[in-house]
């Protein structure tokens, strides 16, 4: 964190300084060259009137600015800084002065290799008087400004070492000192409120989960212990012993199923599951689920209508088996006697599509949004005869999420329930 704050401050400062350098250098270049231009023009006009009133150029005691007198053919008649100069007829300011009486040019001097501003005026005798002065270029100004910025940057880096440490401590300390069980107890800064709210929610959910688990396990255990007690006390009639033993067997079976579901959902919560992706034949997955549910199908005399079709897709096989098993099992469990279950497997370009429809008891529109909640069982009293933990559809939903798929449910109370599943054929680990 310290390093991050340090790098952020330095990066922002460097960028700001760079921007400042460019702006200030541009501004100074404009300001200084404007001064030079005015100065040179003023000087040229003054010299022109001196020369035209009879002064000899050689008698004017100026070494700066540079003064050049050029004939109308470009021959250099006089230059106060250089001798033996070539013909100047091609210089733009001379050309302009010959044509219009005045001319100017801003360029690097061929003679002295410096950025110069030239101003030329045609004299009454046809000669051209040119005055020139060195003017600062953008790069020439940027150099020194840049040096100053480096000094400032070094100073900021030094200050930053302390600021970063202080800021990092100020951010991290309240997080390290957070009491995870009672996050509200600590003093926090506003940005931590979402984290604390999440922790509170998580704690609430954990408490609720534990309470639900205890309740769900207590019910079959109470039955088991009740029947066992009657048998142990010798109160049970000989002919009832078999019935009670059967009830104990069923309840313990129910208990094992619930414990398995609780273990599954806990593992999914903690991401403690093996996410090995394989290419599976969905037809085989569905067929094997139907076979496993054979006894339930037989007991309720359910007709399962499924047309085999070979469709392949990538999935986490044992999670997909769980999804299909839970949904087909529900379609049988919550079906009416002699009802029907329709299973349709199909595909589009990128997805595997599965539809599981039953002609069972259905779910009311008000209950529908809650069916994926943990331990939620529609109309508990109605359902006590049907074994279940209320965790099946939460496991399904979680599994669908692991496959980046979607699940939708449509139901009409007392008529039908249909689940629509969609899974991408290519499953990429995220």
User: What angle, rounded to 10 degrees, do the helices at 392-402 and 317-333 form?
Assistant: 140
CB of 258 to ligand ADP, least distance (A): 8
Q: Is residue 220 a contact residue for ligand ADP (CB under 6 A)? A: no
Q: Is residue 340 a contact residue for ligand ADP (CB under 6 A)? A: no
CB of 406 to ligand ADP, least distance (A): 17
Position among 96, 302, 363, 400 found at the interface with ligand ADP (CB under 6 A): 363
Tokens of 180: 């995870």
Single out the segment in contact with ligand ADP by CB under 6 A; choices: 3-11, 19-27, 191-199, 371-379. Answer: 371-379
Position among 33, 127, 330, 359 found at the interface with ligand ADP (CB under 6 A): 330
Tokens of 132: 């020139």
Would you give the DSSP letter of residue 370? G
Distance CA 386, CA 257 (A): 13
Distance CA 277, CA 263 (A): 22
List for the chain the helix, strand, coil content (%; round to 5).
55, 15, 30
| Beta-carbon-side half-sphere exposure of residue 333 (alpha carbons within 13 Å) | 18
Query: 91 or 377: whose CB is closer to ligand ADP?
Result: 377
Q: Are 377 and 398 in contact (CB under 8 A)?
A: no
Distance CA 51, CA 69 (A): 11
Closest alpha carbon to 321 in 292, 359, 349: 292
Tokens of 206: 């954990």
Displacement of CA 353 from its chain's centroid (Å): 30
Q: Is the dihedral of CA 13, 17, 20, 22 positive or negative?
A: negative
Position among 25, 127, 254, 389 found at the interface with ligand ADP (CB under 6 A): 389
User: What angle, rounded to 10 degrees, do the helices at 238-269 and 193-233 form?
Assistant: 160
Position among 65, 392, 399, 405 found at the interface with ligand ADP (CB under 6 A): 392
Distance CA 315, CA 313 (A): 6
Q: Is residue 255 a contact residue for ligand ADP (CB under 6 A)? A: no
Q: Is residue 399 a contact residue for ligand ADP (CB under 6 A)? A: no
Query: 122 or 357: whose CB is closer to ligand ADP?
Result: 357
Single out the segment in contact with ligand ADP by CB under 6 A; choices: 34-42, 87-95, 205-213, 388-396. Answer: 388-396
Q: Binding-site residue total for ligand ADP (CB under 6 A)?
A: 21
The DSSP bridge pattern shows strands 115-122 and 128-134 to be: antiparallel
Single out the segment in contact with ligand ADP by CB under 6 A; choices: 143-151, 173-181, 303-311, 372-380. Answer: 372-380
Under the phi-then-psi rule, with left for phi > 0, alpha for psi from -120 to 50, and beta for the rest, what region is 260?
alpha
Position among 183, 360, 399, 405 found at the interface with ligand ADP (CB under 6 A): 360
**DSSP assignment of 319-383:** HHHHHHHHHHHHHHHTSPTT-EEEEEEEE-SSEEEEEEEE-SS---TTTGGGTTSTT--TTHHHH
Q: Is residue 121 a contact residue for ligand ADP (CB under 6 A)? A: no
CB of 377 to ligand ADP, least distance (A): 3
Query: 280 or 332: whose CB is closer to ligand ADP?
Result: 332
Binding to ligand ADP by CB under 6 A, coded x per residue (else -) over 307-326, reads -------------------x
Strand partners, 107: 116
Q: Is residue 331 a contact residue for ligand ADP (CB under 6 A)? A: yes
Position among 103, 220, 339, 388 found at the interface with ligand ADP (CB under 6 A): 388
Give the DSSP H or E segment for 96.
helix 92-100
CB of 418 to ligand ADP, least distance (A): 9
Q: Is residue 131 a contact residue for ligand ADP (CB under 6 A)? A: no
For 177-217, what is the HEC assignment? CCCCCCHHHCCCCHHHHHHHHHHHHHHHHHHHHHHHHHHHH
Displacement of CA 370 from its chain's centroid (Å): 30
Q: Is residue 361 a contact residue for ligand ADP (CB under 6 A)? A: yes
Position among 118, 227, 325, 334 found at the interface with ligand ADP (CB under 6 A): 334
Q: Is residue 358 a contact residue for ligand ADP (CB under 6 A)? A: yes
CB of 424 to ligand ADP, least distance (A): 24
Single out the segment in contact with ligand ADP by CB under 6 A; choices: 47-55, 244-252, 330-338, 346-354. Answer: 330-338
Single out the segment in contact with ligand ADP by CB under 6 A; choices: 7-15, 200-208, 232-240, 369-377. Answer: 369-377
What is the contact surface with ligand ADP in residues (CB under 6 A)?
A: 326, 330-331, 334, 358, 360-363, 371, 376-378, 383, 388-393, 417
């Amino acid at each position: 964190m310290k390093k991050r704050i340090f790098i952020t401050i330095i990066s922002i400062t460097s960028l700001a300084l760079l921007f400042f350098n460019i702006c200030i250098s541009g501004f100074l270049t404009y300001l200084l060259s404007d001064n030079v231009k005015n100065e040179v023009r003023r000087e040229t006009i003054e010299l022109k009137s001196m020369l035209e009133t009879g002064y000899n150029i050689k008698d004017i005691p100026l070494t700066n600015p540079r003064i050049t007198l050029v004939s109308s053919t470009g021959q250099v008649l006089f230059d106060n800084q250089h001798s033996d100069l070539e013909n100047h007829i091609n210089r733009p300011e001379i050309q302009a002065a010959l044509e219009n009486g005045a001319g100017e040019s801003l360029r690097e001097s061929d003679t002295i290799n410096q950025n110069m501003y030239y101003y030329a005026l045609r004299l009454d005798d046809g000669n051209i008087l040119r005055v020139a002065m060195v003017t600062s270029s953008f790069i020439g100004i940027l150099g020194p400004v840049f040096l100053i910025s480096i000094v400032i940057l070094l100073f900021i880096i030094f200050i930053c070492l302390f600021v970063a440490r202080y800021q990092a401590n100020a951010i991290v300390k309240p997080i390290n000192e957070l009491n995870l069980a009672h996050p509200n107890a600590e003093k926090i800064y506003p940005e931590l409120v979402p984290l604390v709210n999440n922790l509170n929610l998580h704690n609430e959910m954990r408490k609720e989960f534990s309470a639900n688990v205890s309740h769900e396990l207590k019910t079959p255990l109470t039955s088991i212990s009740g029947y066992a007690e009657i048998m142990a006390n010798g109160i049970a009639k000989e002919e009832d012993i078999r019935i009670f033993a059967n009830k104990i067997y069923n309840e313990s079976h129910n208990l094992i199923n619930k414990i398995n579901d609780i273990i599954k959902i806990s593992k999914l919560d903690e991401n403690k599951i093996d996410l090995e992706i394989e290419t599976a034949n969905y037809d085989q997955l569905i067929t094997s689920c139907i076979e496993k549910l054979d006894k339930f199908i037989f007991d309720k005399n359910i007709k399962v209508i499924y047309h085999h079709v070979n469709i392949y897709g990538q999935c986490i096989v044992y999670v997909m088996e769980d999804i299909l098993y839970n949904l087909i099992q529900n379609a049988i469990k919550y079906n009416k006697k002699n009802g029907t279950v329709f299973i349709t497997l199909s595909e589009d370009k990128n997805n595997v599509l599965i539809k599981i429809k039953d002609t069972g008891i259905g779910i009311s529109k008000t209950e529908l949004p809650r069916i994926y909640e943990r331990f939620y069982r529609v109309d508990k009293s109605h359902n006590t005869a049907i074994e279940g933990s209320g965790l099946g559809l939460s496991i399904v939903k979680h599994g669908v999420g692991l496959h980046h798929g979607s699940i939708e449910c449509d139901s009409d109370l007392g008529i039908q329930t249909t689940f629509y599943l969609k899974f991408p054929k290519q499953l990429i680990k995220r």
